[in-house]
Structure 1
Amino acid sequence: MFILQFAMFNWFANTITHRIFISPGDTLAVKQFKNPSRRCGTPLTTTEFWMDANLLTDQVAEPTRVRQARPTSASPVRVRWDYVIVFGVTHVFALLIFLPYFFSWTGVACFAISVFVFGLLGIPIAFHRMLAHKSFKSPKWFERTLVTLAMCTAQETPARWVAWHRKHHNHSDEREDPHSPRVSFFWSHLDWLFHENISPLATFSLYQKYSKDILADPYYLWIERLPQAAGIIFFVHAMLYALIAGIGSVIAFGFTPEAVQMTASIFVWGVIARTVYVWHITWAVNSVTHLFGYRTYDTSDDSRNCWPVAILTLGEGWHNNHHADPAAATVQHRWWEFDPNYYIIKVFSWFGLAYDIIELRHVRKARASR
């Protein structure tokens, strides 16, 4: 029954979503892709953008949205049932937050704190801006701490995450993009994870091209060589979380049913629900911000600035800005496109925990011309 339901949902996502997201006037037969040499289109350069207020406009031409086949890295089609089962079971257990027994304001507070510590410090700042784009550097001990926090979100190893993301930038919304919504919304949001070619040859080729520098670090290489490292780290962190929650609950309530209930509430909210939430806000950057929002820069992909995603991810939703200047540590190109992740990095720099922070392109050009 589960397989039948999954197949029906996958069919729905791959057919109905195209009727929703692609207007009848758009052609679905176009096979050509945009000029691959235009990785980050620059008709509106960052310098011009900041110097000329007339360029602060949302009237950038909409890219032609075409349906395309899955990337060749997903061929031959082979479902990763280990991922399907893990994601499915985790989502089912996350529904426990809707049962009164598992609700507590302490659990909600642990959810919010854990989203920030593991999800936002880990994924946008550590995996994305620090490792994938090298937008800033940190002392090695602090870098590895942030990366370990990121792995507590169950989003794969550093080398694999970085390789996926760099490949996305190199082939954004082209055939080889790992998660373009031009295949389907569901594909870009989640389904692509279920069809990756994980053969040793494919993995070696991916790492050799996109994350060789990451594997030069002995810690990340050790993680990659350790079987199921991501799962082990997540499991250990979950058990430690439960242990700390249990000790705190016993201190507060003694050995009572209330202590058991509080421990369960903290675990469900702080680990399970938080993990699912961080998954979806991360995936939304891959899917939603390539479909909905406004475009300030005429990049060669479908990237958009989407304020709801920016709020949920503390800045990652300003995705068109990011694709226009991916090296920069900030995606704040207008005063109101607030990027809290960048200011967190700046706070780190006050204590020597971040340095060599890459500023926006117009700042870099101004410094280079001095």
Structure 2
Amino acid sequence: MQSEVAPQRQPSPARGIAAVMRWFDTSASSADVDPALDERVDWLRALPFAGMHLACLGVFWAGVSATALWVALGLYAARMFAITGFYHRYFSHRTFRTSRPVQFAFAVLGASAVQRGPLWWAAHHRHHHVHADTQADPHSPRNGFWRSHAGWFLTRAGFRTDTSRIGDLLKFPELRWLDRYDTAVPVALAVLLFAVGEALARRAPGLGTNGVQLLVWGFFVSTVVLFHATVTINSLAHRLGSRRYATRDDSRNNWWLALLTFGEGWHNNHHFFPGSARQGFRWWEIDLTWYGLRMMQALGLVRALKPVPAWVLATRGAHEVGR
């Protein structure tokens, strides 16, 4: 009787080369065949993520100016809207409709946030809604704060895009390209910021900025803050806040997270009814993304925003728990 031979892992150099290749092309074949490694952090592939955080220390050498701070704030706001309005409410939940050019424009803007491509984002988020706060949920805080906040994002399984969940989006080759080369747009933004900063240093020295300063503040600091603000919805919005609806998960409504993330903090509302383009269900629940989408609708850029159904609003007070 012939014994079964376990699959062999490739030598370490091959795994390292594959990990580096996937910094630039996520379709590069994996050198790992051991599924037991899927839930471990892929430290080599995660080096650029760590490097972005270290680059923020550049503020001590680059200095600061009002120009750099305004650029950082503007890029935070623009990219947060692209993540919440399009990566989340459009690509993940299809809560409104838009044209292909607008879809692509905001996919590019979202890609510049260094939260991977729109297909990856939508696939992981759809998986989260199916398995929220179960063992199959990769970023449930039941598995620990740091795991839910950033650890899951850096695992081998976390890097993959589950195409079985995004069949409606795979028909767009431009979205597939953004997903495959998910570092292309961030690198282009970084180069652009440096070039603009150098041009301002020569032509408008009174602004007190330069290429390195705009790169550090406008790209590295703004992007890192944006990332950690976004993932607080995984790590904190399932732990801190109140529960209007008795959902099967641990989602909470949290007003200060809602301000930080342009409306995503009304997370218990969202988990109760994820099919609405609005997450602040009550008039006093500030939802900046919803206001932005309403403005875009008025301008004819998006259409068919799905509202909160009357039956959802009629449940006010019926499921209040944990207040």
Q: TM range, normalised to the smaller chain?
A: 0.7 to 0.9
| Residue equivalent to 1:129 | 89
Instruction: Call closer, same or farther: CA 1:145–1:362 in 2, change over 3 Å.
Output: same
2:183 to 218, 225, 231: 231
Whether the aligned pair in 1 keeps the contact of 2:193 and 2:211 (CA below 8 Å) is no
Counterpart CA distance in 2 for 1:364 and 1:291 is 23
Q: Confirm whether residue 84 of structure 1 aligns to residue 58 of structure 2.
A: no
| Residue equivalent to 1:278 | 226
Letter in 1 for 2:109: L
Percent identity of equivalent pairs: 31
| Residue equivalent to 2:150 | 190
Instruction: Call closer, same or farther: CA 1:192–1:218 in 2, change over 3 Å.
Output: same
Letter in 2 for 1:273: V
The SS at the match of 2:143 is coil
| Residue equivalent to 1:269 | 217
How many Å apart are 1:136 and its aligned residue?
0.9
Q: Confirm whether residue 293 of structure 1 aligns to residue 247 of structure 2.
A: no
Structure 1: state its 5+ residue gaps.
1-72
TM-score after normalising by structure 2: 0.81
| Residue equivalent to 1:62 | none
Counting matched residue pairs gives 280
Letter in 2 for 1:212: G
1:108 to 45, 69, 73: 69
Q: Of the two structures, which has the highest relative contact order with CA contacts closer than 8 Å and spacing of 6 or more? A: 1
Counterpart CA distance in 2 for 1:365 and 1:337 is 13
Instruction: Call closer, same or farther: CA 1:100–1:238 in 2, change over 3 Å.
Output: closer
Instruction: Kindly report which structure 2 residues correspond to 1:1-370, keeping only aligned pairs within 5 A, or say none.
Output: 76-97=38-59, 99=60, 101-117=62-78, 119-197=79-157, 203=161, 206-208=162-164, 210-224=165-179, 226=180, 229-253=181-205, 262-362=210-310
Counterpart CA distance in 2 for 1:319 and 1:240 is 35
Counterpart CA distance in 2 for 1:87 and 1:79 is 12
TM-score after normalising by structure 1: 0.71
Whether the aligned pair in 1 keeps the contact of 2:62 and 2:216 (CA below 8 Å) is no
Whether the aligned pair in 2 keeps the contact of 1:132 and 1:165 (CA below 8 Å) is yes
How many Å apart are 1:100 and its aligned residue?
7.0
Whether the aligned pair in 2 keeps the contact of 1:153 and 1:275 (CA below 8 Å) is yes
How many Å apart are 1:147 and its aligned residue?
0.7
Instruction: Call closer, same or farther: CA 1:363–1:347 in 2, change over 3 Å.
Output: farther
How many Å apart are 1:288 and its aligned residue?
0.6
Instruction: Tell me which stretches of 4 or more aligned residues in structure 1 moved more than 6 Å.
Output: 363-366
